[in-house]
């Protein structure tokens, strides 16, 4: 089949735990291309882990490094399959870079399947902690600015009526917070060139479907 628009980069995007690294290695092997893990490139550039970058320098710093490394990887010569971090596709600037250099593929797995493999989500916890801290600070500020509750009236025998202390809303569980983050990012992932749903244990079938679809976009290996 003749490729309609030959490209030299394939970017795998989607939430953490969907299998981008696993499928990316399989895809690169079948195509004879080079596999690149964007998070591993960031760790090599910084000399430390993704988790430590989030914990010590914060999300804005990490996103700036991610943006720079993505641009550097995209400018490399040769044919590459690039597995991207869960948030890498969630900015207009990064999407523009990826679409300019190749094809983007959204690996889509049901959240329930992702959560079953939550031990693989270690890198998302510093991000959730950062978000939780910002939320807590916002709630504290709003609480401090609120008016004090009115003094309750005295009852018939002049004894004060006990005050009821307002209860703060229950904190969401980690599963609820991860699900919310996943749902928040879906509209970004929907901008990918190719949508690839993946069921449980379906990597071989998903790879075959992807190769068939990619035949319209890339040169034959």
Q: Write the pLDDT tens digit of every residue in 71-96.
A: 999 999 999 999 999 999 999 999 99
Q: How far is CA 41 from the centre of its chain?
A: 17
Among 131-135, 144-148, 210-214, the minimum mean pLDDT is found in 144-148
SS3 85: coil
Write out the H or E segment, with its range, that includes residue 203. helix 203-214
Task: Provide the phi-psi class of 201: left if phi over 0, else alpha when psi is between -120 and 50, else beta.
Answer: left
pLDDT at position 105, please? 98
Q: Who contacts 56 (Cβ-Cβ below 8 Å, separation ≥6)?
A: 48
What the block records as the tokens of 16 is 């953490």
Biggest CA–CA distance in the chain, Å, is 92
- Alpha-carbon torsion, ordered 60, 65, 70, 71, to 10 deg: 110
- Could you give the C-alpha distances from 203 to 18, 179, 199, in angstroms and in order? 10, 23, 8
> Between the ranges 61-70, 124-133, 195-204, where is the mean pLDDT highest?
61-70
Q: From CA 174, how far away is CA 61, in angstroms rounded?
A: 24
DSSP state of 216: T
Q: What is the pLDDT of residues 112-129, one digit of tens each?
A: 888 887 666 655 556 665
CA atoms within 13 A on the CB side of 3: 13
- The predicted model scores a pTM of 0.78
Rounded to an integer, the average pLDDT of 11-26 is 93
pLDDT at position 139, please? 38
pLDDT at position 23, please? 95
What the block records as the tokens of 94 is 């990064």
* Domains assigned to the chain: 9-127+175-214 (3.40.50.300)
Is residue 133 over pLDDT 90?
no
36 compared with 161, residue with greater pLDDT? 36
């Amino acid at each position: 089949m003749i490729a309609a628009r030959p490209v030299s980069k394939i970017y795998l995007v989607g939430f953490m735990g969907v299998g981008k690294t696993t499928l990316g290695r399989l895809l690169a092997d079948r195509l004879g291309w080079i596999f690149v893990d964007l998070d591993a490139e960031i760790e090599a550039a910084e000399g430390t882990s993704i988790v430590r970058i989030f914990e010590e320098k914060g999300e804005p710093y990490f996103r700036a490094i991610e943006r720079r490394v993505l641009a550097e990887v995209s400018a490399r010569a040769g044919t590459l399959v690039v597995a991207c971090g869960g948030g890498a596709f969630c900015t207009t600037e990064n999407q523009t870079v990826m679409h300019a250099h190749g094809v983007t593929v959204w690996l889509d797995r049901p959240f329930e399947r992702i959560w079953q493999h939550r031990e693989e989500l270690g890198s998302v916890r510093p991000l959730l902690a950062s978000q939780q801290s910002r939320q807590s600070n916002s709630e504290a500020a709003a609480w401090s600015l609120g008016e004090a509750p009115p003094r309750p009236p005295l009852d018939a025998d002049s004894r004060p009526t006990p005050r009821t202390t307002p209860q703060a809303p229950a904190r969401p569980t980690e599963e609820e917070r991860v699900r919310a983050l996943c749902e928040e990012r879906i509209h970004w992932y929907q901008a990918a060139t190719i949508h690839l749903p993946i069921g449980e244990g379906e990597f071989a079938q998903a790879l075959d479907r992807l190769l068939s679809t990619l035949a319209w976009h890339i040169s034959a290996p």
